[in-house]
Amino acid sequence: VWSALSALKTQTDYLIALQRRIGTCRLCEYGVLRDEQGMRAVPGTGSHETPVIFIGEGPGEEEARQGEPFVGRAGQYLTSLLNSINLPRARVYITNIVKCRPPGNETPKPECITACLPYLKAQIALVRPRVIVLLGNTALTAVLGKEQRLQTLRGQARQKSGIIYFVTYHPAAVLRSANTIEPVITRDFETLKALLQRYCPEVFR
Ligand code: SF4
């Protein structure tokens, strides 16, 4: 990824080139399916100069249609959570572990995660966030390691290599079990708000 981008000058140039490359990538079977089904890759969206990145699992059907992450029902719920803590969606960067839709919304296959992770690493290196919010188990284990447990880390901050990681449920979990997950994720976002006010208050302005 880096060698092909090395001729470019600015952070935005790099990110746009990366988005183009993801758009035609066929490094794993999800890219082949994407082309066969006339769907789009979903590289990511939002501010390139933000201190905060949100990372989900992979695009759903609506996302793959529009080429935008978190625009389906789970995405609308994420937007409402962001609104509830007065954090405009346009002020953060939002992406996924895999950039093409896993068929039937399956949990992404390990080999597809491995093929796709260099794109996420490049996005993180370019945006240089202070805080990364990991939404759900796939994001947690892909970024922080297979041994990590959502139930143990949820609602907490953890520092690694100069970045603060905050873990909570994926918004889609609320659509499956609203009664149990919604109060917890709402509390987690209040905790996240306090964290962001402490480490990067500029994101609210
Ligand atoms: S999911 Fe990632 S690795 Fe697989 S084809 Fe899409 S962009 Fe490439």
pLDDT, greater one: 8 or 31: 31
Of 1, 19, 26, 30, the one to substitute when testing ligand 1's pocket (max ligand atoms within 8 A of C-beta) is 30
- Name which residue sits closest to atom 2 of ligand 1, judged by CA: 116
Q: Looking at residues 83-92, what average pLDDT do you find? A: 97
Q: Looking at residues 178-195, what average pLDDT do you find? A: 96
pLDDT at 6: 59
- Measured in whole angstroms, the distance separating CA 64 from the mean position of its chain's CA atoms is 15
Q: Looking at residues 116-142, what average pLDDT do you find? A: 97
Q: Strand order of the sheet with strand 93-96?
A: 45-46, 93-96, 52-56, 131-135, 163-168, 157-160
Q: 176: which residues sit within 8 A by CB, 6+ positions away?
A: none
Q: Looking at residues 27-33, what average pLDDT do you find? A: 98
Q: Looking at residues 12-24, what average pLDDT do you find? A: 92
Whether the CA torsion 52, 70, 10, 160 is positive or negative: it is positive
pLDDT at 165 > cutoff 60: yes
pLDDT at 4: 59
Q: What ligand 1 atom has the least distance to the C-alpha of 26?
A: 5
**Ligand 1 pocket, 25 CB below 6 A?**
yes
* pLDDT more than 90, % of the chain: 90
